[in-house]
Structure 1
């Protein structure tokens, strides 16, 4: 048994460490633990930190808290960032906008709204028949239900009449919600609660008598039908699968039930369709119409006015297409293409509406063209009728297209870009244009910056660089206006996983760093979805190392272009983005001054045993396969930590309990880095209780973000304006 340099039970210093002195880290017993996997010797000295209930793990975490408290006073810009973030978060962000597009049910409009100064968003309902500015009525306020801010409204879905709303609530970071039905008129819970293993889609029956939902554990997921007033034990199982991911929908007219089943994230899905008008006591009559899990293609079936069914799919079109589906021949082989994304375009959204003048079906289609959001109106045959001027002129994002059931002549959506906070817009088919939309009861002033936050907008540039194999990769650079030439303290990040886009969006975090005088860079590395399914495949599975190589090339490009230097470059990321950062820190520690890694998988050998890791086998590969094990070991951050290496300053953050990723990842990585590093730069761990994989009150989010930005500023030499 080997013990780290500090004796067991040693106390952390009471004062901040001088940066020139190597910190003394909390004790971490290194057991000579290793195992044989497919003939490979795989060390795992900190496996004991996987047990968060173990007293030794508890003592180690307490010592980490003391170490963090000793260092935090040296982050002199923390108060600056905390005050600025408090203002900027009032503008909203991509994850928590001030208001969401309304979900329409007759004259009722349901939406989330976070008033300025509120800790969490509220569920609001308004009635178009009430024209008063204060017509919005709070249907559910998480802070009223739990003043401690530990209860979150994870999901919600109104019935087709709007009379009832199915709400899913999680507490203390859990991802196992309770589902309850709230009466819109009385705001009272009108139905017994259902305990769920995971958040579930809800599809209401057209008469509000009940809903379909998803339940069951991994390996046996089920779609059930719950009828109001009956206990959950009587719920009818209408579909069952070993696949982990299930989603479902009922068409507004109540005729069609669709079920999507997928074995994992971004693995392709199987699509089932049932005609509920023809169902019998024997079941719903679900039949397979798209077998995408076999071909790794995805499809989404949607209902349009006038009885039209259509699908949005990447089958046969890596950047997306829209197809007509014949209800009499709904199988994929009979789908006919209506709309295909153009050259250099990515299909991002599509919804159907009704032309008020002709009564004909129209499609409003959203695409991304080199990062710029575009909208176009098509007829039911797919012919392009008109380009619709979208908000913004540069890189931007349109999301959340919402159409009233049965079509209607309007579409609501959210627009944002790097300098524009998220705002709701309404497209009118009658007028053929988009206009800002402020839901009733929402103060329009709450979506505008406070006076102290009104500064010149940042400059946004889109750059390209070549990765190690010659692949061209994009990079967004956000920097202060009128910035003097020369290198500046810079934060670099990337997501690069699960086919997710690095979409241009307003971020209080980015804005605060740039207002302090720094540059912020976002690399569009392989593994994301910026160029469709092929771009994702090029950075997933056995190709995952290409994601990390692209990130390293992005850092080199910033340095080679004179935009920053290694002693002024910080890297920052959470979840999969945190994995990218962790891999970068262990591959090229000399390239960075600081790193912030949050809520990330870092032990890529035991990731299937933590959180919901089993769902990620397609994204990362499995250690059970010898070839894939070799690839995982080649980049697994925990296993790539090398004793005797001078690592940069590193701040690791996470939850005490992370049900999605598994909090042991960050603990084990922290212990390995603290044992291995020989530099005077600190390796620190910041943990929180009751937050899970990300949901927080506004105060706790601002506290965490201020810590991470101040840490990066301290170690890259960024001095905010009022600190100079």
Structure 2
């Protein structure tokens, strides 16, 4: 594999790089933004984003429901609240608490909201995380919602990749990056401190300082709803998937918890610590959700009680602790289930709550000191609805609060689950959404979407604008559930981990070949799309089997897997991809690294690559260099690099987001629908 990199300079934010990107931007705009369909599509997407009838997903604090709204009048957004009865009655009784547009105008900064953290014991006090460009690094300021003002002499920090949580109304657990010495090699905090109100941060009490080669540290408090002793935890992330947990003792010393390194802590219920296993532990398999007596665990006594043991095509996607119950989100063949576990004198009682259909659940909020749950539900053809579930109600019947109106003619469509067979014989699920009358003539414009990494599951979601702009125009949408994701638990994820990464690509290519073999589409009409790790997926797919595809949408991707650890947050992903400094891992990475695999004499499909100059997670150099090499090979490629929005592209001007969605849609129209 050649070591010379002629496009290394595109990793720098130099004048030459900016000029090159501007040139590519102009070329892309001439091809896509100038298309007669672009403006109308962007307006339609913007209308959807600003739709007053979109469901406000709220968080409950002190008898109010809170929501962050972006609208034509407030493109950056306002934070507001409403009484639950007014929300249920659909009354417009919102009170604005914080206006991000007003702050941006007053300070002359293009602020993006990165997060809001209420103090549970004093909910009117919150920590605002503000990013100047939408990147991961954000400043922190304390805000008083009752006074509608920042707190004088309150907690505040300059921009950084901080992790800060409330301990009580007058102290924080603060893991802060103020200089390179404060950061791990991945750029995240390496020391966590207890920071008291009125205290200079330099004088805050250090609780733990990790080695520089660790991933990050953080800490948080889990309050006891009955007023008992809280549980204070330090999370020392040794790497992306290995963690050492510590208990913070009353004298601020720490005690190591006897837990395996691959676990997630989900809360405390009735003195029981709720833990998800991401590895086998004794006789317990990976994926099991269990309870551990907190006091016994602190005394070194380990007697785990399994609460839910997933089947071979199931996984526990998450859990939230209520006052005296536990809400558990289970995926079964990629479809959501909601379970409620309640401790009794005879053990734990499990009940399954009814859901509206075969779609996805989002646990939105669990209000403090209640057994209630706010959750959202949608599927490919059903718009999002916010529900309230009261676990104290024996029926566990969810109450619909608000639903979004339909965006397309769902009655004309159907969604079906299919399976492809991977080269090693594994059954790989994928969902196909299309018009009921779509012929299997091998000519359907088809968009195959994938991710396949970091144990993130792909589940049914409402297609919204895509339904109108793609399905109603005769297009087909396919969602892949390949290995590397979290659809079926830790084993499904680890099957494509590190040196086994090719498994994810093989799964994805198997689905593409199955779509063609079934007579749904053909290579000229088959497009693929993925972002971030999904961008790596589609870049690998197009370099390994370019003959299968007519178009590729490669968003904020990783492409140079031999240098990814040298760029931005790359070192944090060594657990996922392997380390190019390790000879065994290097060989596996070099075998598929899309940037290096591009070669002369091969015809690659038309490709749209997107990135952001403010992306401080996946370096934009990946997208730039991949584009440059394709251009040098005379291939049909376009690059669009935005200036704001960071890695997610969210949180800023909705007009920019609408234009980006419209640009992708036009590209797909041109490549997959306009062709004869």
Q: TM-score, structure 1 length as denominator?
A: 0.83
What is residue 307 of structure 2 aligned with on the other side? 339
- Do the aligned partners of 1:654 and 1:688 also contact (CA within 8 Å) in 2? yes
Within 5 A, what are the aligned runs for 1:186-335?
186-190=147-151, 191-205=154-168, 208-215=169-176, 216-219=182-185, 221-242=190-211, 243-253=214-224, 255-265=230-240, 267-275=241-249, 279-280=250-251, 284-293=252-261, 297-304=262-269, 306-316=270-280, 317-330=285-298, 334-335=302-303
Deviates more, 1:690-699 or 1:631-640: 690-699
What is residue 429 of structure 1 aligned with on the other side? 391
Q: Distance in 2 between matches of 1:57 and 1:198?
A: 26
Unmatched 5+ stretches in structure 1: 1-39, 355-360, 439-443
- Do the aligned partners of 1:50 and 1:664 also contact (CA within 8 Å) in 2? yes
1:352 paired with 2:306, answer no
Within 5 A, what are the aligned runs for 1:27-42?
41-42=2-3
Choose from 668, 673, 683 the match for 2:625: 668
- Do the aligned partners of 1:582 and 1:597 also contact (CA within 8 Å) in 2? yes
What is residue 584 of structure 2 aligned with on the other side? 627
- Aligned residue pair count: 643
Seen in structure 2, the aligned counterparts of structure 1 residues 430 and 91 have a Cα distance that, compared at 3 Å, is farther
1:505 paired with 2:466, answer no
1:378 paired with 2:341, answer yes
Per-residue Cα deviation, 1:559-606 (whole angstroms, up to 9, x for no partner): 001111001011111111011111111111121111111111111111
What is residue 179 of structure 1 aligned with on the other side? 140
Q: What is the CA RMSD across the aligned residues, in angstroms?
A: 2.7
Seen in structure 2, the aligned counterparts of structure 1 residues 122 and 149 have a Cα distance that, compared at 3 Å, is farther
1:365 paired with 2:328, answer yes
2:385 alignment partner, SS class: strand
Q: TM-score, structure 2 length as denominator?
A: 0.89
Within 5 A, what are the aligned runs for 1:462-473?
462-473=417-428
Q: Distance in 1 between matches of 2:160 and 2:653?
A: 23
Within 5 A, what are the aligned runs for 1:134-173?
134-146=92-104, 150-159=110-119, 160-173=121-134
- Do the aligned partners of 2:330 and 2:338 also contact (CA within 8 Å) in 1? yes
Seen in structure 2, the aligned counterparts of structure 1 residues 87 and 71 have a Cα distance that, compared at 3 Å, is same
Q: Distance in 2 between matches of 1:65 and 1:658?
A: 17
1:575 paired with 2:532, answer yes
Higher RCO by CA contacts (8 Å cutoff, separation 6 or greater): 1
Seen in structure 2, the aligned counterparts of structure 1 residues 225 and 624 have a Cα distance that, compared at 3 Å, is same
Deviates more, 1:107-116 or 1:574-583: 107-116
Per-residue Cα deviation, 1:517-574 (whole angstroms, up to 9, x for no partner): 2001111111111111111111110000111111111110110011110010111111
Q: Distance in 1 between matches of 2:29 and 2:117?
A: 43
Q: Distance in 2 between matches of 1:521 and 1:186?
A: 49
Seen in structure 2, the aligned counterparts of structure 1 residues 81 and 234 have a Cα distance that, compared at 3 Å, is same
Q: Distance in 2 between matches of 1:483 and 1:675?
A: 39
What is residue 491 of structure 1 aligned with on the other side? 447
- Do the aligned partners of 1:98 and 1:115 also contact (CA within 8 Å) in 2? no
Deviation at 1:307, TM superposition (A): 4.1
Unmatched 5+ stretches in structure 2: 177-181
Q: Distance in 2 between matches of 1:484 and 1:121?
A: 44
1:329 alignment partner, SS class: helix
Within 5 A, what are the aligned runs for 1:623-662?
623-662=580-619
Per-residue Cα deviation, 1:458-500 (whole angstroms, up to 9, x for no partner): 3111110101121111111111343334230011121011111
Q: Distance in 2 between matches of 1:480 and 1:117?
A: 37
Deviates more, 1:693-702 or 1:378-387: 378-387
Deviates more, 1:71-80 or 1:176-185: 71-80
Deviation at 1:333, TM superposition (A): 6.2
- Do the aligned partners of 1:49 and 1:664 also contact (CA within 8 Å) in 2? yes
What is residue 179 of structure 2 aligned with on the other side? none
What is residue 27 of structure 2 aligned with on the other side? 67
1:550 alignment partner, SS class: helix
Seen in structure 2, the aligned counterparts of structure 1 residues 585 and 610 have a Cα distance that, compared at 3 Å, is same
Deviates more, 1:148-157 or 1:629-638: 148-157
